[in-house]
Each structure stands twice: as C-alpha cells, then as structure tokens.
Structure 1
Amino acid sequence: MSGEHASTRIIEAYARGGTDLAADEVWAVEAHLEACRVCRDRMSAAVGTEAPAVASLVDTVWSGLEPRLAGTATMPRGRRRSARLSRWLMPTMVPWLAMVVGVTLMALLLDLAGTGSGEVSLVLLFAPVLPVLGVAASWSRGLDPAYELTASAPRAGLHLVLRRTASVLCAVVPALLVGGWATGVTAAQWLLPCLAFTVTTLALGGVVGVTRAAVVLAAAWAAVVVAPTLATSRTAFALQAGGLPAWGLLLALGVGVVIARRDAYSVLGAHR
C-alpha cells in the first residue's frame, strides 16, 4: 500500500490471483477495496488486462444476474443495521454475555448479603475471567453459524477479533464498575486483571486458538486463585494492590504479543 491507494504492483498482482503477494498484503488490499472506489475501478481495469479469462467469467455471470437483481427488492433498513451490528456482535454471543453479566450481578448480591468468602470480594475474584468467557464465545468456530463466511471475509483477522472483544468489554466492564463501586473495590484492582486476562487470551489465541486459550486461562485461574481463596477466605496476592504492577506488566506483554503476531488471526486456527 502506498499513500491513500494501493500501488499498481499490488493491484496487478491481486488481479492475477494474488499468488505472488504476502498474506498481509492480500488482507490489506481486500480491506482497502471495501472503502475505496478509485482502487476498485483500477482493479476492474486490471482484471481485464491481467486476467482476461476472469473478466470474461465475471461478465457472463453478471449478464445472468443483472435481470434478476433488477427485480429484487433492496434490503430493508432494519436488516442493514443488523448487518452493521454483526461486525461487532454475532447473535450467539448474546446468551453468553447475558450469562457473564448475570454472574457479575450474582457475585455482587452475594457480596452485599455478606455470604461471600470472608474478606474476599467475589466481584474482584471473578472479574479477571468474566470477559474471557465472552471473548471465547465471540471467536468460536463451534458457536458461529456463519463461520465459513466469517473466516473468508477480508477483515476476518485481528480487526474483527478486536471489534468483538471490544463489544464483550462494553457489556462486562459497566457491570463490573457497578459491582466494584457497590462493594468498595477500587477500579484498578479489577480493571487491570480484567484487561490483562483478556489481552493474554488474545495473545495465546494466536498460537492455540482463542477458545482454547480462554478455557486454559479460566481453568488455571480457578485452580490457582479461586479455589485456594474460597478455601482459606484470604485474598490472594494476585488480587491485592501489591500485585497491580505484575498485572500491568502482563497487560503490556500481551499487547506486544498481539501486535507482533497480528497476522496469526487471519488463519483458520484462530477460530479453534
């Protein structure tokens, strides 16, 4: 990519099939073509020159589709809004997000009723792993009925992962904010672990798949922190103010790994 438009080399190589382009260049030009009519026109002209067989096939297909499309009603406005919303949230995420918010509210009620684990706030105890469950649902091959379409879309890589992760955080963070305020837990105590766990899930997800990373981290947290804390009714060091620098370091490392391995989210393994 050069300046505001794709270079001639990339346009012509993509028109020939993109076999001599790197994966990140293919992703970049496809994403750019979505919003740039100038480059789409250049691509159309390049296809006629570089791949005449493809141009002929497109013309044949279009000649058959054009009469049908002329008589087809346009998409209702409500469906267009739904299509835009799907970039951030898929329908199968809704029950998972409702469950996550429900768990947060239940933990808050137990804290307020004094039936929690002694001096340990249940909101603080579950805050790091709650968004991880939503992230797992938002990028799961088994839960996404449109998986094949999602995986083949130009923005199916890190761009879409971050959008869906942001939608999860937008649902979970306000609930945790209310829970922390009601129980007297400072925002830094739950927000840093929450963000660090979420970013670590994405970082490991580029290696083993987002869903598998979420399951592994949630199980590790339950075994190492939740179970001992509930058994002893003592706040683990990871939940104390002294552990905040470690959470900050983990967050920074996770962000670095996600950036360094941003191309990994464009492969099908990230959906595992």
Structure 2
Amino acid sequence: MTDWHASDALVARYTDGSLPESDAWSLEKHLESCAGCADRVSRSVRASAAGPALDAVRQAVLAAAPPRPAPVEHPAAPHARPARVHLARLLWAAGPAVRGAWLPAVLLAVLGAVALGHWAGFEGARPLLLAVAPLVPVAGVALSYGAHADPLHELAASTPSAGLRLVLARTAVVLAVSLPLLALAGLLLPSSGAPGGAAWLLPGLALTLASLALGGWLGLRTATAVTGGGWLCAVLAPALATPDGAVSAALTDRLSSYVGGAPAQGGWAAAAVLCAALLATRRTAYDRLERH
C-alpha cells in the first residue's frame, strides 16, 4: 500500500485507452500493491463497453478449464505439502536456465572436477574449476531471459513485473543453484598451490552484475558474451598459450594474481558494488529489454 492513489480521471483515461503507455505501466505497477485502486479500475472496466466482452471471455475460460483434482494429503503433514516440493517447483518455474541444459552442465562440471582431482590425480583440477566457475552464473543469466530461453517470454515481458525485477529474480535462482555446488566442489579439491576454493565467489558476483549492467545497453546475451569472453581472454587464453606446456602452473599463477589475496578480493568487491550501482541507475532500460 502507498500514500498515492489513482484519481478518478486517471482511472477513466486508463479504461478508455487514452492514457499514455508510460502512465499506464506506472498505474498497473501500482495496482499490484493497492487493492483499493485495483478494485476501482476493475469496476470501471466492467462498466465500460468492453465489460460484457471481457466477462464472456472469463466465463469461456472458466468453462474450458478442467476441474482441479482433490489434493492428496501427505501422511506426515495432512495440511501441508513438504517444503522441498514447493522449493523445487519454485526453482523450476522461476528459472528457465534450471529447466534446460545449464543445470546438467553445472553438475557435470562439478562432478568432473572432483573426479579429476581425487581419482585421476590431476593437480590442476582446482585452478581449472576456479577459472571456469565465475562463468557459470554468467551463462545462467544468459539462458534465463529472452525468447531464446523462455517459451512464455512474450507473456512474461508484457506484465508490469517484467524488466529488471524479473531478471533479478531469475538471476537469484541461478546463483542459488550454482553457488553452493561450485563452492562445495572447490572446497573438496586439493589446493595444489591455487587460491582457496571460494576465491571465485566475488569475481563471479562481479561478472554477473557487470553482465546485468551491460545488458541494459547490449542485451543480456551480448553482455554475457562480452564479460565471459573478457574473463576467458584474461585467465585461460594466456595459460593455454604457455610455450613449455605447463598450463596448470601458468593458470595457477594467473589466478593467484587475479583472485588470490585481500587486495584482489577487495578489487572484485569494489567492482561488484560499482556494477550494482550502475545497474540501479540503469534499471529503467530493462523495461523494454527483449520485448519483441
């Protein structure tokens, strides 16, 4: 609830379609949290010429909808379903990346790194994981928003809750899934002189926020390609180009300079704060992001 409420003239102009699009979006956003104004707008629309047509559509939808099955009660909790079921459904609904190939790729990377480190005796398992881990949430962001990732994108993008709010919600799902898995894998791997297993967290957060901030100008797919490609060029490319073939040692040295120690971590933290501030100032750019 807010102190501001829609005037009768504003409601009338919204009902007859003469309200400018920007003002209409502002009003629709207000209706999400103001039941009084929502009721007034609903009554105004029902009283207009479009009211009978809308009521007919509503009745047709209700008539075509199949009856809801009776809920199956859980033996241990007759009045509530297990919390884990609700969490799984929430993650599945809120994160398009979780429903695609991204989640299996994350699991494969985690299991592969642990297998290389413990069973294959590969000393570069942790450096390799630290080099790849910051890209995982960035890739998840790229696969979370847009018609290429979500079959219902056009419908979701047309709602007042679309834009940055929806992007941040889906980014939170990506982070909630990837961060624990990658952090656990990093802690389980032998150090081999590489930075700590959680040293990638701040770089990963900074790169994710940088992708979101650039997305307001470039679109999310292009922005994630820029940030992810920049990280690869800075970390992996020089190590792979080592002339004597000591890729693991070169990668460890480069990661130590980029993410090891308090100064490097402080720099990544400052970059994350700067990108978050830039994202906040550019939040309106997401109102039209990939709508068409």
TM-score (norm 2): 0.75
- 1:65-84 correspondence runs (5 A): 65=60, 68=63, 72-74=66-68
Structure 1 unaligned segments of length 5 or more: list them.
Answer: none
Q: Does 1:240 align with 2:260?
A: yes
2:131 maps to 125
* Alpha-carbon distance in structure 1 between the residues aligned to 2:89 and 2:198: 36
In structure 1, give the amino acid aligned to 2:142. A
Count of paired positions: 262
* Alpha-carbon distance in structure 1 between the residues aligned to 2:279 and 2:172: 15
Task: Answer whether contact 2:96 2:149 (CA < 8 A) is retained.
Answer: no
Name whichever structure is richer in helix by fraction.
1
In structure 2, give the amino acid aligned to 1:239. V
1:47 to partner: Cα distance: 3.0
User: What is the aligned counterpart of 2:40 among 42, 64, 76?
Assistant: 42
1:171 maps to 177
- 1:56-205 correspondence runs (5 A): 56-62=52-58, 65=60, 68=63, 72-74=66-68, 87-90=93-96, 93-112=99-118, 113-117=120-124, 121-183=127-189, 184=191, 185-186=195-196, 189-205=199-215
Q: Which has the higher contact order (CA 8 A, sep 6+)?
A: 1
Kindly report the root-mean-square deviation, in angstroms, between the aligned alpha carbons of the 2 structures.
3.3
1:224 maps to 234
* Alpha-carbon distance in structure 1 between the residues aligned to 2:70 and 2:91: 14
**Structure-2 change in CA distance of 1:28 and 1:117 (3 Å):** same
Cα deviation digits, residues 214-261 of structure 1 (max 9, x gap): 122222221221121344433222232232222112101110121111
* Alpha-carbon distance in structure 2 between the residues aligned to 1:47 and 1:116: 68
* Alpha-carbon distance in structure 2 between the residues aligned to 1:117 and 1:153: 47
Task: Answer whether contact 2:210 2:275 (CA < 8 A) is retained.
Answer: yes
Secondary structure class of the residue paired with 1:138: coil
**Structure-2 change in CA distance of 1:84 and 1:30 (3 Å):** farther
TM-score (norm 1): 0.80
1:200 to partner: Cα distance: 0.8
Q: Does 1:7 align with 2:3?
A: no
| Structure index of larger Rg | 2
Task: Answer whether contact 1:137 1:143 (CA < 8 A) is retained.
Answer: yes
Identity fraction in percent? 34
**Structure-2 change in CA distance of 1:91 and 1:175 (3 Å):** closer
